[in-house]
Chains A and B, each alone.
Chain A
Amino acid sequence: MTKKVQRLDRVIIRFAGDSGDGMQLTGDRFTQETASFGNDLSTLPNFPAEIRAPAGTLPGVSSFQLHFADHDIMTPGDAPDVLVAMNPAALKANVDDLPRGATVIANTDEFTKRSLAKVGYASDPLEDGSLSEFKVSRVPLTSMTMKAVEEFDVTKKDAQRAKNMFALGLLSWMYNRPTEGTQGFLKSKFAAKPEILAANLAAFQAGWNFGETTEDFAVSYEVKPASLPPGTYRNITGNLAISYGLVAASRLTGLPLFLGSYPITPASDILHELSRHKRFGVRTFQAEDEIAGVGAALGAAFGGSLGVTTTSGPGMVLKGETLGLAVMTELPLIVVDVQRAGPSTGMPTKTEQADLLLALFGRNGESPVPVLAPRSPADCFDIAVEAGRIATAYRTPVIVLSDGYLANGSEPWRIPDVSALPDLSVDFAEEPNGDGGEFLAYRRDPETLARPWAVPGTPGLEHRIGGIEKSDGRGDISYSPANHDLMVRSRQAKVDGIARGLDPLEVDDPSGEARVLVLGWGGTYGSIAAAVRRVRRAGGSVAQAHLRHLNPFPPGLEEALARYDRVLVPEINLGQLSLLLRGRFGADVTGYNKVRGLPFKAEELAGVIQEVIDRAE
């Protein structure tokens, strides 16, 4: 039977199931198939903090959303076109996000009376007409998987667990995905367990065959490859891109990488990843706590390593005092804060942008620290390299504000040519710099205001640093009022001066007629850019600019704020950048703020932008 193939320009699929159903793996494999096919894509994993919440309950639902297209796209998509629901909880938790006409593929085997009752369904939604506005495909996924693998010597549990591969096979057929990658992946994952491998391969194939033969699925779909700029690509998450960026920064500066870190969601994957790259001279230290993580990194920096610590909000708070010490000792240090919903423990697996003011001001005294924020998963690589540049060139701690959405979300990344990356080589002090042949640990470089970095083992440059205020030049303990005033201003001037080496803020204003500027920072770039596109497609004029440098701001920001009648600042916090802009520039900005633990939806933002435009008319 030949089936019709319908062409689409983009599709949003959400896989949802119990946290033990392997939905993240399924989504990840579908993403890899899609990436290798050449579509542009963006992903949004969404999972509970509980490792295995009680089976079949709403808190236990784990999902993975993938948006792929034949053109470049900015976000994981607002609303899924297809929902794969492995059980009633997965349906209930996600059905409100579906637009009219969406497809629901439900695993009917799990829609038992008991499972339905567990999530409060009085009757079976697959049968009672409540899903009438959707196209519902009822597929007995579990039992068909069991049947497909019955010839193999696997336990009932292992057979059932292969049902995610059945689902993946079915979806792979529906969207004409290449399957070699997944088959290769399974072969290496289960190399030591041939029976389980055979069962998973069979389930995957059975899913594909089911799509091809059953009359339930009359159409398959095709999404052509996107025309991305030439180059070699891979799919990459923010946490992986940060890890690679840190290894690159180590290579480019010529300094061995030392990571001191304490496990914390959603930053732990950076620790996991870097611990695998010892052959790059990377040393990873799993510390007893957050404070020891940053302390060890600073100790390594004193010794001439590229010191790095990684964490999320609660850990960031604990590192504050050591960050102050790094400010005072003027040693290079990179601090990655993968922001999550707070305060306190908050919602560990959900995203937020509410650590901006903490990063800027969360220390005692006047304690300026450069702050950077990547705008997309792939941009995490460039930001990590940039953090390495600023930290070593200016001898300062640098904070990188990633977030949970960037950390786990993914997109295609054009792999950079290593020889085209910047040379960041560092010169340690080797000789005394004083006029009398002495070493002056706080004599600043006139250009960067950085102090010399003399590492232990260098003869003649022995010196003592620490948290107590030091005298300008010599670096002895000093309580002099005039000296303290000078040192406070010098540290501030050093960080402010970083702006001189930054590219001016780029403002995207193609028509040149926009009266409204949308200004964002960090992980909201994709949502804002997608919303701006929508507005422009509908005939509206709007300008967009996005900040990756939060301290200091790039040149040109003040001018950009003044150029537009209205400035809209969307943030996943209650207005932290807005507060900075008002305070720094006296700018009259309009905030749009939501803190739901999720990225903005493009459609929603487009509506907000249109409203601001209408008011500006």
Chain B
Amino acid sequence: MPSENGSAVNGADGAAAPAFPGLKLVPAAQEPSKAKDFKSDQEVRWCPGCGDYAILAAFQGFLPELGVPRENVVIVSGIGCSSRFPYYLSTYGMHSIHGRAPAIATGLAASRPDLSVWVITGDGDGLSIGGNHLIHALRRNVNVNVLLFNNRIYGLTKGQYSPTSEAGKVTKSSPMGSLDSPFNPVSLALGAEATFVARTVDSDRKHLTSVLRAAAAHEGASFVEIYQNCPIFNDDAFEPLKDPAERDLRLLRMEHGEPLTAGGRGVVADGFGGLRLAGPEEAGEDAVLRHDAHREDPGYAFALSRLDQPAFEHVPIGVFRDVRRPTYDALMNEQVAEARSAQGEGDLGALLASGDTWTVE
């Protein structure tokens, strides 16, 4: 039965700040769990070498940290390779239809604040057919976590270009090169007024886990882009970010309060409201910005997202933005509570007999 007030509430019982404010209405688990408790009995059927395996393992390893019972975790996905995710987790799940997972998750999360709801989507599912639902779920700030696996290709339909494929990509459906300019998913999410936006990489389990942790802690919609390798149709798409010799030069690891640097260069203001990377000889150490993920104005986070270069010359990863705004589900449930306290619990007989009535003897 959907309960509107979980009895044992995560982190709301003591003085200490909860580890996961985003789960404050979810009951706490009676016993600690392990990664294996979140594995279902289904055989995992992604292609060998698929980045989804690494994400799944990291996710299963991370879920016990939440301290919530697995029956209160729900995974909702759309269609695509990534959307097979729910079958491999022993939680509640719905493998829904193409692009609609954010809408379905919105109804679930808004009516069941006692659940930890995760949306698993991909660059085709979330940014093409489901782009509308994604931006609206983000602007509403529904308390769901959206993990967008970005492999920059359509995998399940066998290799057509996606809305994040680089322009000119040669695929089965674009033999002379694709004509579309790609989305930057982080810029898109920020433009949609998302309150939490982050990026991570499938191959860096430690970083991936830290971003999942921050997303779960966030109250409201969190959007996480995960660069994910498709070994069959777009292999090595993110290779420059994975090569041990190269990656530290290219990855700009954002940590709140820390200087923004990559490969010996630092992020500085460009004088036009944007940001750029500059070497130490050009910009003194003082000019390098310290990361502030909590800035209300999304312009700064947007400028960070524009540091991306087509060939991964440098790529920020970590949390771009993490700000507080009332969540849609909390506001919706507050209105219900407010109506009840102002007018009393609804009386069906009185409702039906409201307005002008007359009696026939």
**Chain A residues within CB distance 8 Å of chain B:** 32, 35-38, 181, 225, 227-235, 244, 247-248, 251, 256, 258, 260, 277-283, 285, 287-289, 291-292, 295-305, 307, 321-322, 324-325, 329, 415-416, 418, 428, 455-468, 476-477
Contact = CB atoms under 8 A, between A and B. Distances in A.
28 contacts: A234-B357, A247-B348, A256-B2, A256-B111, A258-B111, A279-B340, A279-B346, A283-B333, A288-B132, A289-B132, A292-B100, A295-B103, A296-B103, A299-B104, A299-B108, A299-B111, A300-B112, A301-B107, A302-B94, A302-B108, A303-B108, A321-B100, A418-B349, A457-B112, A462-B71, A464-B93, A466-B86, A466-B94
B71 A459 contact: yes
Contacts of A458: 71
Interface in B300-336: 332-333, 335-336
Contacts of B340: 278-279, 281
Contacts of A256: 2, 111
B272 interface: no
A288 B74 CA distance: 23
A247 B71 contact: no
A459 B108 CA distance: 18
B176 interface: no
B111 to A, nearest CB: 4
B355 interface: yes
A415 B352 contact: yes
Nearest to A459: B71
B339 interface: yes
B358 A299 contact: no
Contacts of B94: 299, 302, 329, 464-466
B133 A297 contact: no
B107 A291 contact: no
B265 interface: no
A459 B351 contact: no
B95 interface: yes
A304 B40 CA distance: 23
Nearest to B106: A296
B275 to A, nearest CB: 31
B202 interface: no
B340 to A, nearest CB: 5
A300 B107 contact: yes
A38 B358 CA distance: 7
A244 B339 CA distance: 18
A456 B338 CA distance: 26
A419 B354 CA distance: 17
A462 B359 contact: no
A307 B351 CA distance: 21
A284 to B, nearest CB: 9
Contact of A456 (B72, B339, B353, B354): B72
Nearest to B38: A462
A292 B344 contact: no
Nearest to B349: A418
The 4 closest A-B pairs by CB, nearest first: A466-B95, A296-B107, A299-B107, A295-B103
Nearest to A461: B71
Given A297-B107, A464-B86, A304 B2 contact: yes
Nearest to B337: A278
Given A278-B336, A285-B106, A325 B356 contact: no
B92 A462 contact: yes
Given A291-B100, A303-B107, A456-B92, 18 more contacts: A231-B360, A232-B360, A234-B356, A247-B348, A279-B339, A281-B346, A285-B332, A292-B133, A296-B104, A298-B104, A298-B107, A299-B108, A299-B109, A302-B107, A304-B111, A462-B70, A464-B95, A466-B94
Contact of B95 (A228, A280, A468): A468
Contacts of A230: 360-361
Given A244-B352, A464-B94, A466-B94, A302 B2 contact: no
A155 B139 CA distance: 43
A325 B97 contact: yes
Contact of B345 (A279, A299, A304): A279
B348 A251 contact: yes
B2 A279 contact: no
Contacts of A244: 351-352
A457 B352 contact: no
B193 to A, nearest CB: 13
Q: Which of A299, A418, A462 has the most CB of B within 10 A?
A: A299
B33 interface: no
Interface in B70-114: 70-72, 74, 76, 79, 86-87, 90-97, 100, 103-112, 114
B69 interface: yes
A456 B111 contact: no
Nearest to A321: B97
A35 B74 CA distance: 51
A248 B348 contact: yes
Nearest to A325: B97
A467 B342 CA distance: 42
B326 to A, nearest CB: 16
B353 A32 contact: no
Contacts of A233: 357-360
Nearest to B77: A466
A469 to B, nearest CB: 12
B92 A464 contact: yes
Contacts of A465: 93-95
A251 B347 CA distance: 10
A455 B3 CA distance: 11
A305 B111 contact: yes
